[in-house]
Amino acid sequence: MTRCAKAIVSTLPMAMQDGVDDFIAVLLMERGLSKNTAVAYEKDLLQFAAFAAARKRRAWSAVSQDDVSCWLRTLSGGAALDAHSVTRKLSALRTFAIHLVSSGVRNDDFTALAERPRTRRKLPGTLTGDDIAALLAAPDLTTPLGLRDRAMLELMYGSGLRVSELCGLQLQSADLDEGFLRVLGKGGKERVVPVGSKALEALRAYLSEEGRAHFVKKHTGSALFLSEWGRAISRKTFWVHLREYARSAGLARKVKPHALRHSFATHLLANGADLRAIQEMLGHADISTTQIYTALEKTQLLKAHTRAHPRSRMSVAKPGA
């Protein structure tokens, strides 16, 4: 539990606190959700519980649909959260409400009539081929650190991994002979993803005596990518290094780890890859999540047409020019 969550819990009625605790335990043990996802659910639910408690609700059985509507108006108004954040919080509350019904705490879903705010689906940021090339060339391959980071960047872009999946890889996850990775994704679901020749080359270089061996300590386990302390590298550390490489590569925009995953999918789609295959490699449970990349490709095609076609608005010469 985070420090903020502990502060909220100290002011909640015991029945409401227990309800959230039981639900989080179900998420972790029965549904196999990751700790990070469970923490996000807990934060959102405790926030609503505090709001409901301020309205004199002492138990989950007393919470009303009006409480939910008022909370959503508060989030969208005074708190000035964007529609996506409000929708995420409502989704967490809905999942919890269904749990309360299934466990017999309530007879009804108190979120049933709540309307989520309209969201405009945001297209993910991607890097161009030149940006990727410059970024991948940034690590210094004469150092163990550079060998490690080059391998991580190559794998993230070459296999479309989430940063948590990348940092969670084990030595046994990689089959260098067959050229694939076994990745543990969201909800503990395992999938197999291919590894390209460049990524394999970078991974072999990192696994040599000049690479990973440099980071190994007495307490080191089987994590594939190690920090300077001999433990599995953290997402935060990777993000810091990525930011430095983007800067040294001369990239104007801020590059987040997910940009490499988005670039992977977008570049595959642009070069004719099947959407279902991309869905499987990304580990998306629903094809609709993957379909956002088709919208991105169409947007990029439209921009290219507007920029380059002789009859487009931007490229048509002005009269008398």
Indicate which residue of 106, 162, 262, 267 is catalytic. 162
- Say how far apart CA 298 and CA 270 lie, in whole Å: 10
Find how far residue 162's CA is from the centre of its chain: 6
Distance, in Å, from the CA atom of 268 to the CA atom of 274, rounded to the nearest integer, reads: 8
Listed residue (239, 190, 232) closest to 215, CA to CA: 232
* Alpha helices per DSSP H over 192-309: 197-206, 235-248, 257-270, 275-282, 287-290, 292-308
Whether 261 is catalytic is: yes
Q: Is 293 a catalytic residue?
A: yes
- Which H helix or E strand runs over 229? none
Catalytic option among 88, 186, 204, 235: 186
* 191 noted as active-site residue: no
Helices and strands counted in the chain (H then E):
14, 3
Which one of the listed residues 84, 189, 258, 309 is annotated catalytic?
Answer: 258
d(CA 119, CA 84) in angstroms, rounded, equals 6
Q: Are strands 190-194 and 174-175 parallel, antiparallel or unpaired?
A: unpaired
Beta strands in 118-259 (DSSP E): 174-175, 180-184, 190-194
Annotated catalytic residue within 57, 89, 261, 267: 261
In what helix (H) or strand (E) does residue 163 lie, and over which residues does it extend? helix 163-167
Task: Round to whole Å and give the CA distance between 45 and 65.
Answer: 15
Tokens of 229: 């302390």
| 307 a catalytic residue | no
Residue 284 designated active-site:
yes
Q: How many CB atoms lie within 10 A of CB 91?
A: 14
**Catalytic member of 41, 157, 245, 293:** 293
Of 177, 47, 51, 30, residue with least CA distance to 102: 30
Nearest CA-CA partner of 27 in 82, 95, 111, 87: 95
Output the CA torsion sign for 202, 207, 210, 211: positive
Catalytically active residues are 162, 186, 258, 261, 284, 293
